[in-house]
Amino acid sequence: DAGVTQSPTHLIKTRGQQVTLRCSPKSGHDTVSWYQQALGQGPQFIFQYYEEEERQRGNFPDRFSGHQFPNYSSELNVNALLLGDSALYLCASSPANRVRESSYNEQFFGPGTRLTVL
């Protein structure tokens, strides 16, 4: 199992453009979360997808949207790119089979996609 995979590795875009980042979860995982990590900062939660629906969302504008497919893979879309969107975008997946709703299932992180907006 390759674990969580993300594509592409690096991406360069210009302001105003749109970008799509992709994530394949670890085998057996059904939940995907996306994080933005700006330089010198810790990861910031963008949103989480479960059963093809956005379940939780962090403090990010509507320019950030996502999708989850029936095979649990996910996409992160960012419209109208700003210079401040330059960051490492991390995908994390967590397993199915929750013992109880309030329990935490460990999130396994991918290597990230480095987005540069010029």
Partner 1 sequence: AQRVTQPEKLLSVFKGAPVELKCNYSYSGSPELFWYVQYSRQRLQLLLRHISRESIKGFTADLNKGETSFHLKKPFAQEEDSAMYYCALRSYNTDKLIFGTGTRLQVFP
In angstroms, the CA 86 to CA 79 distance is 13
Interface with partner 1: number of residues (CB under 8 A):
27
Nearest to 34 by CA among 18, 19, 53, 21: 21
Minimum CB–partner distance for residue 10 and partner 1 (Å): 15
**Closer of 25 and 110 to partner 1 (Cβ):** 110
In angstroms, the CA 86 to CA 27 distance is 29
Minimum CB–partner distance for residue 57 and partner 1 (Å): 9
Rule CB under 8 A: is residue 104 a binding residue for partner 1? yes
In 6-45, which positions are buried (b, 16+ CB within 10 angstroms) versus exposed (e)?
Answer: beeeeeebeeeeebebebbbbeebbbbbbbbeeeeeebeb
Minimum CB–partner distance for residue 63 and partner 1 (Å): 20
CA 56 to chain centre: 12
Binding mask 29-68 for partner 1 (x = CB under 8 A): --x-x-x----xxxxxx--x-------x-x----------
- When binding is defined by CB under 8 A, the residue of 13, 73, 111, 114 that contacts partner 1 is 111
Rule CB under 8 A: is residue 74 a binding residue for partner 1? no
Rule CB under 8 A: is residue 113 a binding residue for partner 1? no
